[in-house]
Structure 1
Amino acid sequence: MKRRTLVGGIAAAAAAAAAVPGTAAPRRIGMSDVDRLQRRFTEIIASDHRHGGQLGIEQQAVALANEALNLQNAGSATQRVRSNLYACAASFRSSAMWAAIDSRRYDDAQQHMREAQALAEMSGDQAIKFRIWSHTGTMYRHMGRPADALAANYVARGLHITRRDPMFASLGLARQAAIQGVAQERTGTCRAIDQAQEAMSRADSHAYRPVWMLAFYDQAELDSLALSAYLSLGAYQTAEFHAHRCLSALRPHMIRSRAIATTRLAHAQLAQGDADAATGTAMQVSVDAATQHARVSRMLQEFGAALRATAPGSPLARLWTEHAATWRTPA
């Protein structure tokens, strides 16, 4: 409701300004306006990697998407500028979508998805189309709908950009592997991971790519998706291998990703019977991630339940219970 109020206020203010008689002639909208919005998009990306799917990030992204759309009617512009404004709006909506996915608010995520897809079509931007459809696949994977997830991811993988740039092909294949892991397709999972690795090896490190891609997709992210896939398959030793490789290569700004990979590593260690190592690993997750990030919180709750089931009443189980209790204790 707050988000709708905010967006409605922005739209109403723009309409009121346009309706005032005697105002100056519409100004020229140019690439400097697009550049300003793209700088704000970079800030949204950085905030997402630090904090994960927070409602505030989602609301800010929606407001910026509407700011980009309001510019369409604020003055004259070339078709190139208008296409870029639609791409900016689609980019912001895709970030709102991701924030909602990350915090497990899937109804909101699907609303953002529909808006983002329409805007991306009007922009003609292949990269943002890929991001939106790839996020859609991830959303359905988290919702436990692997068939829909694969269908959405195939749309992303079918875009021309995956043939022009092997890095996009690699990301599409790595996310396919994570989906196939949920679907328990062991052979397909392993094949997709190998193909994702091969595609990454062919990618030109100097090629131009959008900021959202540069900010997160690298070897560490490929290993993170492989970790997720093998954990779903119950291949815990292989999952642990990819977890260690991911954590050793993650860039410092990937705070949310580090918390997720660390939690998944703890699950892989516990499933192999190493409760001591698993508990120590899980306790490395920061309090902020454990309490403010919905995906991490749920995975840690599942870890605690699995630990208590594995070693009920043990010192380790009590240690974990005491540790988790501190998250709920006011400072």
Structure 2
Amino acid sequence: MASSSRASSPPPPRPNLAFRRLRGQRSPGEFAALVRRAAREIGERVSCDARYVGRVEAGEIRCPNYAYERVFLHMFPGRTLTDLGFVPREAVRGRGARTEPEAPTAYTLGGPAVPDGLRHHGRDTRRNNGDEESDVRRRAFMTGGTATVAAASLTALPLGGAAEAAAVPGPRTAGDAEVSAVEEAVRRIRLLDDRHGADGLYRRAAAPLRTAYALLDAGTSGPGTTDRLYAGAGELAISVGWLAHDSGRFDDARSHYAEALATARMSGDPGLEAHAFCNTAFLARDAGRPREAVRAAQAAARAARHLGSSRLLSLIALREAGGWAGLGDRGGCERALARAHALFDQGPDGRDPEWMSFYGPAEVAGLEAQCWSALGHWERAARHAHRAVDVAVARTPQFTRNIALYTAELADDLARAGRPDEAAAAGQRVLALLDEVQSSRIQGMLATTARVLLPHRRAAGVSAFLEDHASRARV
């Protein structure tokens, strides 16, 4: 029994020797100072210290967030993240960033994970599998659009085999391979949502969620595995809840978020609890329950207060600001916005949750735009939405769905601010992105903008937008 327990525990992270060599003879503190100085040179702000450098070198941080990535590539021009000893970002998006078992063989999304012995020259064949999968997604997109992309990617979810096994009478104990599959499902869903939006993903993503909870019911092979499975299942519930939220299925989203919250409470996971409350606050605001949004955001802040992530607290403060704006309380909104900016300005930290990779200057501007829009300050909202679009296009072009969202927000704010030609131009840019992004939320925003622009339909640019929008709606 003891040997079985040891086998189920995740191995320690592998040290990042390449990064350690780059530090040379400098102390971790001296190197951290160089990182902070390089960040200032390119307009970034990172709170790098000796502890962060130590975590990178120990292999605890397998891939840096986007701010650190830009700084490191600035410090070492011509090198890639792989050259610096990190793993590709697509391999760590979401909970999959945690330490993985040496060689899970049965339950991975894109085929069996690759043991160390099969890695070649610093590049493992999982990257090749990812390239092949990307080719499949590209071909599917060319022939069938986003719904087919989702199908091509999510039909390979690894938990189908586990789901069938879970339906067989009798116990089935979950081990590292099954838990890694749950974590991988979270990563895959988030990557696809970043690029394509929620509408084509929600139904398919519900299947691995059911399997994850079936695995929890069946039990695990050890305490470490149990903790990972609870965390993975909870994050998967939040991811599926977000897909429901973004595709307009608010009741389903509320149910999934509540499931994640219950999982967090049962497992004593404050990070998962904060995430669940944070998303609940966002949902409550969108569903027209602003007071609940405020209360949920405040609950998220209480859960997150000892986690050490200023960026998480910043996002939660923005969720609270959205609730106050929905209540028409400008003072409460401005106080929450000020708190959000102050916390954001403290910079990223190694303790920031992996799921927050989307949260940067563009998202801050986009959420603030939504606050001013809810308060009826259209010009101010438009300025922030414009900044969100510009920053997102420049810094995170891979987040296609967010670019479409910020642009849709901009179009609506401009329309309400009495600038119909500019609003129509922004609306046309959103229409162009809807071939790649399917989000009922974004489509609903664009439909509202079209209604606001109807009195201006004789203007050439507005007329073209309205015709194109109506044509797409008929398809």
TM-score in same-fold range (> 0.5): yes
| 2:197–2:439 CA contact under 8 A, matched in 1 | yes
Distance of 1:83 and 1:134 partners within structure 2: 21
Distance of 1:227 and 1:78 partners within structure 2: 47
| 2:420–2:453 CA contact under 8 A, matched in 1 | yes
Give the Å deviation of 1:180.
Answer: 1.5
One-letter identity of the residue aligned with 1:220: A
Q: What residue is the counterpart of 2:238 in the other structure?
A: 94
SS at match of 2:168: helix
Q: Would the alpha carbon gap of residues 200 and 317 (structure 1) be closer, same or farther in structure 2, given more than 3 Å must change? A: closer
Distance of 2:465 and 2:304 partners within structure 1: 49
One-letter identity of the residue aligned with 2:180: D
Q: What residue is the counterpart of 1:208 in the other structure?
A: 351
Q: What residue is the counterpart of 1:227 in the other structure?
A: 369
Give the Å deviation of 1:208.
Answer: 3.3
Q: What residue is the counterpart of 2:442 in the other structure?
A: 296
Q: 1:269 aligns with which of 407, 414, 418?
A: 414
Give the Å deviation of 1:265.
Answer: 0.8
| 2:322–2:370 CA contact under 8 A, matched in 1 | yes
Q: What residue is the counterpart of 1:4 in the other structure?
A: none
**CA RMSD in angstroms, aligned pairs only:** 2.6
Q: Would the alpha carbon gap of residues 329 and 101 (structure 1) be closer, same or farther in structure 2, given more than 3 Å must change? A: closer
Q: What residue is the counterpart of 2:431 in the other structure?
A: 286
Structure showing greater radius of gyration is 2
SS at match of 2:201: helix
Q: What residue is the counterpart of 1:325 in the other structure?
A: 470
For structure 1, which segment, 223-232 or 289-298, has the greater mean C-alpha deviation from structure 2 after superposition?
289-298
One-letter identity of the residue aligned with 1:299: M
Give the Å deviation of 1:154.
Answer: 1.2
Distance of 1:308 and 1:27 partners within structure 2: 60
SS at match of 1:284: helix
| 1:42–1:211 CA contact under 8 A, matched in 2 | no
In the alignment, does 2:180 pair up with 1:35?
yes
One-letter identity of the residue aligned with 1:263: A
| 2:311–2:344 CA contact under 8 A, matched in 1 | yes
Q: Would the alpha carbon gap of residues 73 and 186 (structure 1) be closer, same or farther in structure 2, given more than 3 Å must change? A: closer
Task: Extract unaligned runs of 5+ from structure 2.
Answer: 1-158
| 1:259–1:285 CA contact under 8 A, matched in 2 | yes
In the alignment, does 2:282 pair up with 1:138?
yes
Give the Å deviation of 1:8.
Answer: 12
Q: Would the alpha carbon gap of residues 17 and 219 (structure 1) be closer, same or farther in structure 2, given more than 3 Å must change? A: same
In the alignment, does 2:166 pair up with 1:14?
yes
Q: 1:240 aligns with which of 369, 382, 385?
A: 382
Give the Å deviation of 1:122.
Answer: 2.3
Q: Per-residue CA shift, 1:75-99, capped at 9, x if unaligned?
A: 6522121021011111111111111
In the alignment, does 2:208 pair up with 1:64?
yes
| 2:308–2:351 CA contact under 8 A, matched in 1 | no
Q: What residue is the counterpart of 1:305 in the other structure?
A: 451
Distance of 2:416 and 2:473 partners within structure 1: 27
Task: Extract unaligned runs of 5+ from structure 1.
Answer: 1-6, 20-25
SS at match of 1:292: coil
Q: Would the alpha carbon gap of residues 187 and 67 (structure 1) be closer, same or farther in structure 2, given more than 3 Å must change? A: same
| 1:265–1:281 CA contact under 8 A, matched in 2 | yes
Give the Å deviation of 1:150.
Answer: 1.1
Q: What residue is the counterpart of 2:299 in the other structure?
A: 155
For structure 1, which segment, 194-203 or 9-18, has the greater mean C-alpha deviation from structure 2 after superposition?
9-18
Distance of 2:284 and 2:451 partners within structure 1: 25
Q: Would the alpha carbon gap of residues 308 and 328 (structure 1) be closer, same or farther in structure 2, given more than 3 Å must change? A: closer
Q: How does 1:170-181 map to 2 (within 5 A)?
A: 170-181=314-325
Give the Å deviation of 1:138.
Answer: 0.9
One-letter identity of the residue aligned with 1:178: G
Give the Å deviation of 1:28.
Answer: 7.2
Identical-residue share of aligned pairs (%): 29
SS at match of 2:397: coil
Q: Would the alpha carbon gap of residues 8 and 313 (structure 1) be closer, same or farther in structure 2, given more than 3 Å must change? A: same
Distance of 2:443 and 2:173 partners within structure 1: 48
Give the Å deviation of 1:67.
Answer: 2.8
Q: Per-residue CA shift, 1:311-330, capped at 9, x if unaligned?
A: 25444443222221331465
For structure 1, which segment, 288-297 or 241-250, has the greater mean C-alpha deviation from structure 2 after superposition?
288-297
Q: What residue is the counterpart of 2:255 in the other structure?
A: 111
In the alignment, does 2:369 pair up with 1:217?
no
The structure that is helix-richer by fraction is: 1
Q: 2:313 aligns with which of 145, 169, 173?
A: 169
Distance of 2:304 and 2:471 partners within structure 1: 50
TM-score of the superposed pair, with normalisation by structure 2: 0.61
Distance of 1:91 and 1:319 partners within structure 2: 42
